[in-house]
């Protein structure tokens, strides 16, 4: 088997069918799809059961809710392919994504990514991203303020043997688990980012980047410190970050909705007003949302 696609999902029924359909439609058909159900209590288990019954390439692993990192560890551990392709629930891949990334593994390449299109909650175009410059150089030497990784975690395809040799995803990194892995993979070979937009990522207003940004940065700092020779006991500090339950605040919602609104306004999409007004309903004192509406 060439490829093991690995995805974790928790209460993701709304976006799950579209994601599964985009993976199963790949022109490179020599793959298995491992979906780790991370303790879902919505319709996710039933959707997975139905899809797995219809396509024997799908393998479902069920675990108690433990977060994305544990789900990815379990999925990658079960992988049988020579290459592991990541995918996030709610996102979609272009039909030739797997084929194009697979063809890019030449010489000492250990990770292949691609350009990504970010869309809003209703599939509105927000922006496109492709990495610029030498990703390896940045991962191996840059501080947290300047470090560049892959355009999106879900775009990654990597050699399974290199993943295992690097130590895989580390359970201590509840967030920023992807950057921590890329830093260690960068020391084992080249990381290539294809310029083509082969992946579509949906920006949700409850995304981790909006609600756990501080934890992500703190864990990224630890990963970089370990890269630069810090005592391995620092991993214990990483284990404690992001474990506490955090109540989502109205300010988080307003900031995320404002971000969507600002992208849409820049693109000339009049629906930005709807998101700006939604942000103000969450937080009437969100100044930047007011400014969007009165300009």
**In sequence order, what E strands does the chain have?**
3-9, 31-38, 58-63, 83-86, 92-93, 109-119, 125-129, 157-159, 190-202
Q: What is the mean pLDDT of each run of 10 residues along the chain (295 residues)?
A: 97 97 98 98 98 98 97 98 98 98 98 97 95 89 95 98 98 96 97 97 78 89 97 94 68 91 97 97 96 92
pLDDT at position 112 is 97
Give dist(CA 137, CA 133) in Å, integer: 9
Give dist(CA 83, CA 66) in Å, integer: 25
Domain boundaries, the chain: 3-240, 250-294
pLDDT at position 133 is 77
Nearest CA to 121 out of 15, 209, 7 is that of 15
Nearest CA to 68 out of 219, 177, 158 is that of 177
Fold of 3-240: Spore Coat Polysaccharide Biosynthesis Protein SpsA; Chain A (3.90.550)
Q: How many CA atoms lie within 13 A of 13 on its CB side?
A: 12
Contact 78, 164 (CB under 8 A): no
What pTM does this model have? 0.94
Nearest CA to 89 out of 200, 23, 8, 206 is that of 8
Torsion of CA 185, 187, 190, 191, to 10 degrees: 40
- How do strand 92-93 and strand 190-202 relate by DSSP bridges? antiparallel
Contact 163, 128 (CB under 8 A): no
């Amino acid at each position: 088997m060439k490829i093991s696609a690995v995805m974790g999902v928790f209460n993701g029924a709304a976006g799950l069918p579209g994601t599964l359909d985009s993976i199963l439609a790949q022109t490179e058909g020599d793959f298995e799809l491992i979906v780790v159900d991370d303790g879902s209590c919505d319709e996710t288990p039933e959707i997975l059961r139905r899809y797995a019954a219809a396509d024997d390439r799908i393998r479902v692993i069920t675990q108690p809710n433990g977060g994305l990192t544990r789900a990815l560890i379990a999925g990658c551990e079960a992988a049988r392919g020579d290459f592991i392709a990541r995918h996030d629930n709610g996102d979609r891949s272009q039909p030739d994504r797997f084929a194009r990334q697979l063809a890019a593994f030449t010489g000492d390449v250990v990770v292949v990514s691609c350009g990504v299109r970010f869309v809003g909650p209703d599939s509105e175009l927000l922006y496109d991203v492709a990495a610029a410059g030498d990703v390896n150089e940045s991962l191996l030497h840059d501080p947290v303020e300047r470090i560049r990784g892959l355009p999106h975690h879900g775009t990654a395809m990597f050699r399974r043997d290199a993943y295992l040799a690097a130590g895989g995803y580390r359970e201590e990194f509840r967030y920023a688990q992807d950057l921590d892995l890329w830093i260690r993979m960068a020391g084992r070979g080249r990381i290539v980012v294809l310029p083509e937009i082969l992946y579509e990522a949906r920006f949700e207003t409850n995304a981790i980047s909006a609600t756990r940004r501080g934890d992500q940065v703190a864990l990224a700092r630890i990963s970089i410190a370990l890269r630069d020779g810090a005592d391995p006991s620092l991993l214990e500090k990483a284990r404690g970050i992001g474990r506490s339950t955090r109540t989502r605040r109205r300010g988080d919602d307003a900031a995320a909705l404002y971000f969507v609104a600002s992208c849409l306004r820049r693109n000339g999409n009049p629906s930005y007003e709807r998101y700006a007004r939604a942000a103000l309903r969450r937080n009437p004192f969100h100044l930047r949302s007011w400014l969007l509406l009165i300009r």
